[in-house]
Structure 1
Amino acid sequence: MRTIAEINDKIRTSQVVVWTVEELKARVQESSVEEVFKQVDVICTGTFEPMESSGAIINLGHTDPPIKIRQCWLDGVPAYAAFGAVDLYLGATAMADYGSTVDLSEIDNRQGNLLPERGGGHVIEDLIAGKEVQLRAIGQVTDCYPRASFDTTITRDTINQFYLYNPRNLYQNFIVGVNGGERSLYTYLGPLQPRLGNAVYSNPGAIAPLINDPDLALIGIGTRIFLGGGVGYIAWEGTQHFPLQKRLPNRTPIGPAATLALIGDAKQMTSQWVRGCYFNNYGPSLMLGVGIPLPVLSPKVIEHCAVKDEEIVAPVMDFAIPRRVRPTFGLVSYAQLKSGQITIDGKAVRVAPLASISLSRQVAEELKKWIEAGEFLLTEPVTSLPKDRAFIAQDLWGSRISLE
């Protein structure tokens, strides 16, 4: 048995042994759980995938005279302003609302990237990259905040706080989307072609961070992580956190399960690992790199991290049925998904991932380098993440509306 304190001592003295989770899986195949436990101290996991329940907290600093912002646009993308006078929250999926809020020619000349599909994720990426962003604000005039409006350009260096606070990231598992209908569908998984023309999955499978800690035994509130190329932390359980999802004997869930709320200083991050994206006819989002180090405290950690794509499944859901609970075509393994083709009702269906497997590997490798260089210590969680959250839907409220 080991402790996090012992592992941190090894990190400080450059004696720590760190492997990526793929390296760990290969070593277990060649040896045994018990032997591998004696060799490694930390296992690095990573993913790079769309995480639309993300956003940035921004504090602009006070103007002279002061303004109490109640409407605000950043490069034409609305930011939420109904709390502190110059505090903003810019959601990754906020959609550009140009209207009269932005001088289009100015932004075209300055950046050349103002497009109808531009959203909050793109503005966050630009701020992280050090680019200028046009800000227009409308204030509520009060005795202590007499200014009515404010127009300027900002960068990450001209604002106070700029940090990501993401209410829901890192689904422990997710679904596979298909379309059994007769017309193309445009979804949060991207385009789904009719008559089972394609299938899309988003979780990277056996290398995904939470798949390798299925019972959330190694992480908790306060765990230090790789977030967007900088240091971040697990802040809370994520929204729609559902650890009670049905599980296989190896403890991996058969569908969407645990989620995490994450926080980190965006001024430390890089646009390599935080990128705005757009799903055609659906909307903008954010591609985000997240890595979690798993301390090897016992052989059970190795046992869980040895899980293979053949041993993890996801449900195939038909988006042609416009309901919260959709019919399923059954479960498929991530080994089948990563082969590029699955079979549904006797038909071969081509498959593509939303997560970048290559960049997910790079996240894990980057985190490994930080730890080996003594630049990243592990943290003890302040408290555990809840294991008993039920999933509450709004069916009853919908029924009341329909009855009226």
Structure 2
Amino acid sequence: MRTIAEINKKINQKRAVVWTVEELKTRVAEIGVTKAAKEVDVITTGTFEPMESSGGILNLGHTDPPIKIRRCWIDGVPAYSGFGAVDLYLGASCAVEAMDGEELRERGGGHVIQDLIAGKPVQVRALGQVTDCYPRATFETTVTRDTINQFYLFNPRNLYQNFIIGVNGGDRPLYTYLGPLQPRLGNAVYSNPGAISPLLNDPDLQLVGIGTRIFLGGGIGYVAWEGTQHFPLQRRLANHTPIGPSATLALIGDAKQMDVRWVRGCYFKSYGPSLMLGVGVPLPVLNETVVERCAVQDKDLVAPIVDFSIPRRVRPTFGLVSYAQLKSGKITIEGKAVRVAPLASMFLSRQVALELKQWIEAGTFTLTETVSPIPMDRAFLPQDPWTDF
């Protein structure tokens, strides 16, 4: 048994033994769970994948005379302005508005966030509600991350504990949040990186909670709350891992300290813009159970194959398939071999875990005690029309 305080003491003394989760899995295969648990102090996990339920909070600072912003565009992307006078929220999946007959470009909030993190200038155009204390009606300027007060990511839903595999059983191409799906089961796409993914290595969320310090976009972030659509009651295997979309986390971090290597705007054809984001979670080895859970292999993790050709909230599935099968590049659906590819970058997911490992070994990143656990009893509540009117 170890404590967070004991591990942090070793980190500060640069004596902590840190393994990436892939190194842990290899070592367990060589020496077993018990010996591995005695050797390692921290296990690092990582992912780099699309996380469209993300966005940035910006405070521009007051103008002279002051303005109470009620409509705003940052490089042509609408920013939400319905709270403080010069507070804005820029959603990663919000698209550039077509203006003056200009066609919609393949650009959105994720690209603007990337540019701000890179230190590039972006244009702000605002309309104000004129009041006695905010007499200004319009405002235009150019800002960078260094000329505004705050710029931090606040992401309502990141780090799905598991997700789905998208296919298309129909007769025309479909353009989805998983990318293009070819007709007649022409391809399959999945997004979770499987056995290296953070929350699949802590299936009961015993180590991750509100206040957990994490690697977020190349900077330091924190778990702020449960994520939207958090559904820990998803059915689970005997190893406690869910068979489909389950737990999620809301994350927060200072974007001024982030790196565009780990925060990149992207675009899905005929669907819209999004954000590729690198997130790493350190798992403290408090006991053998931590190592046992982190030893899970891709062959022991499954996800459902979902047919997007049925335009309903609950779509038919073609059963479950393991991540080992997914990573082979082909799966079999109703006797047909279907090529499959990930949205997550396996290479960059590994690099996130490795960079976080290096931070901890250098003594620049310590672990935090959780303030409160993430609830594990949340049901999923859909919106259905009332039938008794």
State the TM bucket, normalised to the shorter chain.
over 0.9
What SS class does the counterpart of residue 34 from structure 1 fall into? Answer: helix
- Taking structure 1 as the reference length, the TM-score comes to 0.95
Q: Which amino acid aligns with 2:63?
A: T
8 Å CA contact retained: 1:70, 1:81: yes
The match for 1:108 is none
Alpha-carbon distance, 1:355 to partner: 0.3
2:263–2:278 CA contact under 8 A, matched in 1: yes
Separation of aligned partners in 2, 1:42 and 1:207: 14
Partner of 1:9: 9
Partner-residue secondary structure (3-state), 1:95:
coil
Match of residue 200 from structure 1: 189
Matched, 1:130 2:130: no
1:154 aligns with one of 130, 140, 143: 143
Aligned to 2:110: 121
Please identify runs of 4+ aligned residues in structure 1 that moved more than 3 A.
none
Residues 96, 270 of structure 1: alpha-carbon distance in 2 compared, 3 angstrom cutoff: same
Secondary structure at the counterpart of residue 112 of structure 2 = helix
Shift of 1:173: 0.2
Shift of 1:394: 1.0
The structural deviation recorded for 1:16 is 0.3
Determine whether 1:83 maps to 2:72. no
Instruction: Confirm or deny that 1:258 pairs with 2:271.
Output: no
Q: Does 1:72 align with 2:72?
A: yes
Structure 1 residues 5-404: aligned runs within 5 Å? 5-99=5-99, 116-395=105-384, 398-400=385-387
Q: Deviations over 1:361-395 (max 9, x none)?
A: 00000000000000000000001000100000112
In structure 2, what is the Cα distance between the partners aligned to 1:380 and 1:219? Answer: 9
Structure 1 residue runs of 5 or longer lacking an equivalent are 105-113
Contact 2:97 2:104 in 1 (8 A): no
Local SS of the residue matching 1:157: helix
Q: 2: distance between equivalents of 1:240 and 1:75? A: 30
> What does the per-residue CA deviation read over 1:106-157, in whole Å, with 9 as the maximum and x for residues that have no partner?
xxxxxxxx97010000000000000000110000000000000000001000
**Aligned amino acid, residue 229 of structure 2:** Q
Is this contact kept in 1: 2:98–2:104, CA < 8 A? no
Consecutive unaligned residues of structure 2, counting only runs of 5 or more, are none
**One-letter amino acid of the counterpart of residue 151, structure 2:** F
Q: Percent identity?
A: 76
Measured in 1, the distance between the counterparts of 2:41 and 2:100 equals: 56
**Between Structure 1 and Structure 2, how many residues are aligned?**
389
Aligned match of 1:107 = none
Counterpart AA for 2:237: L
CA RMSD of aligned residues (A): 1.2
| Letter matched to residue 19 of structure 2 | W
Give the deviation of 1:98 after TM superposition: 3.8
